[in-house]
Structure 1
């Protein structure tokens, strides 16, 4: 299975979590790593190149820090431009059908804050519903979320174990998917 990990972190070189995840992924030749902020520092996305990259992979993982209950702005722009009508949905928009789509998210808030009783009021599954619906619309199989909460309090040992678990998430041949 060819896997593409699209990393969207505006300050990756200073990110302890997302950078460590990327470093662990780089140890595996079968994973294509694509950093949007490094590729497009000017914000001008090459849509044709991005679409070809998507088409050449079976599994797509969007890796990002959770910003204001959503994705970083460049990932939203990427979605708007790359997942176009006639390409990813609508008449003739079947280019991604049958592929898998997963999310790898880091959050500053602790896990218990992402509960109906927590200060964020909602679970991560609820907060990522727009991305799950995007997956439905473009015909991909939505994978279970991979989330690391409370990143400010993660020890080096915990991060190492989490990075290994992330590689397993990315490379595991069959994951339970959801059509939520």
Structure 2
């Protein structure tokens, strides 16, 4: 009986390996998790004495952070440093379940210092969303950032983002294929 179970297990492993070696294997993806770097700005336009951003758990238990909207004056910036590659990568942002009701305007900076399609092109309204959301595609992206200065009234909405490694921004790129030698 034990030999039969082992034979079935080996057969399943070989079948899974053969399935993974098909045409789809050339289209494999690699996922990078980009840690948020949060900075509270110290300038006259920011509320004195108030903490600018807060940490909590969302309704699904994910560790998140959030801040209030702040009109046109930035008091909080959130920066993600991308893995720069010439490949077209997709970027996904975690919208917390709770603590996220604002419009997030993402800026993508490329290796030559330009913005992908201009500042704030990639907007995401968190109001009716939760979980992973596609926020853009680009090659040679070096960083992605947003601020609390999104044009919405002071403290009228909440911008939320993931803070634990499982909920950091995701960069999903085509895997670089290996060429055989010989």
State the TM-score, normalized to the length of structure 1. Answer: 0.26
Higher relative contact order, chain-length normalized (CA < 8 Å, sep 6+): 2
1 or 2, which has the higher strand percentage? 2
1 or 2, which has the higher helix percentage? 1
Q: Rg bigger for which structure? A: 2
